[in-house]
Chains A and B, each alone.
Chain A
């Protein structure tokens, strides 16, 4: 049984100009211990599916699906209370802007321990010990001191480590990382990616990497889903995707990488005929 299974998921938003379909009949699944990359450009709907799974869509969002199941449990028709037991514990998520996703008014220690308080039966002392252990495992120097720090006292990379510590606090079975390194410098990006891969290998959790960066895909994924304008274009294991992309959009995306440039000019997506789809 797959860890998370999505079948024909459609997400629409009510807007002033009518309903906008952000995600159109998308299906994929992730197995235990697998790293799945979802790649696409802005507006491809790559985050929307995961926000729907997490129940984080804005109130004007509408979800339709044949199936959204986590370990065989129907996530869409679950009661809110039951869902809160799963979300944040068995499924957790980290976001692009580490500094913005932490609460500026509370210390790092408070925010990590809050997760533990909600989902575990640890007492205060144990929670503190666990928080220190977590900060250690994400490679923060001086974890005891870090507990007392506020987000603005730390760098972006450090904040992202804290976010990861919070996300893995309850040993999730599935971690969703939404552009986890986009706001970071390359050397810090490498540290964070190494950390995520290391944690994933040790714990055997499923990891969904949402990204627009083909380099990040190449460095992390087992399997890749390519999305464009809300539709799934292609799904393949990482090697076949880069070696032998099937879909014209994937081909276009790969050839737009500056390192793949052959002549003086970079091919752009509009150079490829997208079966009447048109390009952005």
Chain B
């Protein structure tokens, strides 16, 4: 992909990343970094990511786990004096890095995001029990049992409060028109892949 852009990473981001055309608007004030609830955990806060993009640091940006720290709280968006949709740019960069296979190995939020999407794409609605078990068991069976045991009291409390149904394991909620729903998502992905040259 980088060949196509003659190593112009800014141009690549503008064309391939969701809301990427906004990157050049950043004026480096750093309000986003100071507004982020997970600010201390970013190796490169948003304004630094923007500058790195402009400086052509393709590998450093796409392999960074910084974007994966975004909790989608939109604090940076509403405070940005230039009104950059920072949350979406971070989402876009994370998605792009993931699609290129460059996101950090075993990044927990990337793994959770994949579990979440696959979970909803299957039936059209989220199955919370399978989603929770999926995250507990992501590092294998033994670790999964350990994780599930550690969260046992929470799970039982939820069942007691009628906010978790053990029977969800054997089916659960979903849309009725699964055929149409799956065909729709397949087509949407096809179009996006074509537009972004992933096809």
A and B associate: no
Chain A residues packing against B (C-beta within 8 Å):
none
